[in-house]
Amino acid sequence: MQQKNYFIKALLATLSMTLLLSSCFDKHKSESEKISQNTTAVSQSQRSQTQSNPNESSSLKINTNYDYVMLEDKIGPNTKATVDYYMLALSWSPAFCDSQYDKYGKNLPPSAEYQCGMKKQYGWVIHGLWTQSATARSAAGHPRFCQGDLPPVDENVIAKYMNESPSPNLLQGEWEKHGACAFKEAQQYFAKQQELYQALNLPNKALKGKELFSWLRKNNPHLNGAYLGASRNEIYICYSLQWQVIDCPK
């Protein structure tokens, strides 16, 4: 009888120990899963935060007067010229900034301060998207200031596009001179030139002449066969009214 009781007690003790170990294991597993879920949630939150704020300039505070005064423009308006095609002008920023420092030294004008004065490194940036007339023989022959002298665009709109065109003065001026001849609102104009820019693969170093054009065509198949324009530190890509790449005037 005593032997039987001893056996039962031993069995109960073993069962209790098994249940205790199982409980500890389940608790540890639950805590591990909770930690894992929290870690995953943090990682997803960080990725989401990064993706939701890809453009640092969207929160930029513009501390300069960037209004463009039409009466001070050297060329002036042309509201009678027709819009026959578009030209996207891209500028090599390091060369532009070198010219600004050569001209002004450390006293950069407000229009160049953001692009050249801050510790930022820009490569190819948007100079502007220009409305062009097929019959023009000079800059004055193209459509300009079609909506007159416009008020400054809201700085929150300007700031959204300064990664590709890093000057509020430039964005405002290009909108008034060129964009207003084809778009009703500034944001439509800025968004379109940004779209065209982002569709391009651009070199991250200075290339000249044939080497530059060869690189562009090799890395942008949609530019193959089209005549591209160029000046000292700029390149020009032309588009039809349907936004197809076409030859620029020779």
Quote the pTM value: 0.76
Q: Which helix (H) or strand (E) holds 141?
A: none
- Sorted by sequence, the CB contacts under 8 Å of residue 243 that are 6+ apart come out as 86, 196
Q: Average pLDDT in the 231-245 region?
A: 97
Which is more confidently placed, 35 or 133?
A: 133
Q: What are the φ and ψ backbone dihedral angles of 130, each rounded to 5 degrees?
A: -105, 135
Residue 86 bridge partners (DSSP)? 131, 239
- Whole-number Å distance between alpha carbons of 149 and 129: 18
Which single residue is written with the structure tokens 């032997």? Answer: 3
The 10 Å Cβ neighbour count of residue 119 is 4
Tell me the angle at which helices 186-198 and 168-177 cross, rounded to the nearest 10 degrees.
110
Give per-residue pLDDT as tens, 91-106. Answer: 999 999 999 999 999 9
User: Which positions are annotated as active-site residues?
Assistant: 127, 174, 178
Going through 43-145 in order, the beta strands assigned E by DSSP cover: 85-92, 124-132
Give per-residue pLDDT as tens, 8-62. Answer: 444 444 444 444 444 444 444 444 433 333 333 323 322 222 233 344 555 566 8
